[in-house]
Amino acid sequence: MIFIASCLIIYYVRLQLTVWVFQKRRWTWVETITLTVLMSFVLYAFARVGGNNKQVVGIVEVIGIWLYLSGSYINTHSEYSRHV
């Protein structure tokens, strides 16, 4: 549960940085509302399904976490580079 919560928090912070800081264009209210509703549902579904998983963390999960963190860094760094 801690891993999933951490990934969701990282994703949420990245999304907020991208939308409100890094992007130079203005978002329309339709985009903002759609993204908010859709992503709220997606994040809730991930937390709900993943939070019920009682499996022990093994090598596959560690590799998945590493890939997630690497991808998050690549995405955020590229958005930051475009912003600068």
User: Where does the pLDDT of residue 1 fall: very low under 50, low under 70, confident under 90, or very high at 90 and above?
Assistant: low
Residue 82 identity: R
Domain positions in the chain = 2-83
> Whole-prediction pTM value?
0.70
Separation between Cα atoms, residue 5 and residue 43, nearest integer Å: 10
17 or 1, higher pLDDT? 17
Contact 22, 79 (CB under 8 A): yes
- The structure tokens listed for 59 are 């090598």
Radius of gyration for the alpha carbons in the chain, expressed in angstroms and rounded: 15
Q: What is the pLDDT of residues 56-73, one digit of tens each?
A: 888 988 898 899 999 999
- Residue 1 tokens read as 């549960």
Of the candidates 21, 13, 64, which has an alpha carbon nearest to the alpha carbon of residue 39?
Answer: 13
pLDDT for 4-52, tens place per residue? 888 888 888 888 888 788 887 887 888 888 888 888 888 888 888 877 7
Quick one: pLDDT at residue 66?
93
Structure tokens at 20: 């409100």
